[in-house]
């Protein structure tokens, strides 16, 4: 069952926790009876009044304190330093190519996926 802190794994807001997905988007899905993701639809249905309150700004979107499974770096500088360190080690593993700010935990992670 989907909760506020469930991370979407597909769709437009992939990798975003449900409470961070714009409420308008969720309400729009609901209005269109879009059940492409039945669990998401169920979440919207169950939390409809909550989502509506968020949509009109009556309720603040909560800060999340999820700890990501990936290594979290406190700043971009630290992440880049680690990136440099790893790229200088000669190994056969996939090496990270960039750092990025994580929308889930607010920290920085490294990824081997290029931006484009």
Closest separation in Å from C-beta 108 to Zn ion = 8
Output 48 or 68, the one with its CB closest to Zn ion. Answer: 68
Contact between 111 and 98 under an 8 Å Cβ cutoff? The reply is: yes
Closest separation in Å from C-beta 100 to Zn ion = 9
Contact between 103 and 66 under an 8 Å Cβ cutoff? The reply is: no
Residue with smallest beta-carbon separation from Zn ion: 102
CA gap 96, 99 in Å, rounded: 8
Q: Residue 19 carries which DSSP code? A: G
Output 36 or 68, the one with its CB closest to Zn ion. Answer: 68
Closest separation in Å from C-beta 67 to Zn ion = 8
Residues at the contact surface with Zn ion, assessed by CB under 5 A: 68, 102, 104-105
3-state secondary structure labels for all residues of 37-71: CHHHHHHHHHCHHHHHHHHCCCCCCCCCCCCCCCC
Output 78 or 105, the one with its CB closest to Zn ion. Answer: 105
Closest separation in Å from C-beta 45 to Zn ion = 28
């Amino acid at each position: 069952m989907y909760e506020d802190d469930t991370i979407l794994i597909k769709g437009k807001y992939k990798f975003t926790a449900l409470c961070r997905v714009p409420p308008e988007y969720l309400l729009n899905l609901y209005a269109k009876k879009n059940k492409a993701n039945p669990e998401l639809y169920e979440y919207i249905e169950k939390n409809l009044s909550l989502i509506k309150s968020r949509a009109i700004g009556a309720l603040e979107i909560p800060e999340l304190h999820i700890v990501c499974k990936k290594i979290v770096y406190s700043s971009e500088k630290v992440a880049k330093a680690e990136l440099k360190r790893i790229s200088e080690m000669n190994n056969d593993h996939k090496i990270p190519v960039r750092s990025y700010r994580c929308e889930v935990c607010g920290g920085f992670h490294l990824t081997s996926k290029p931006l484009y």
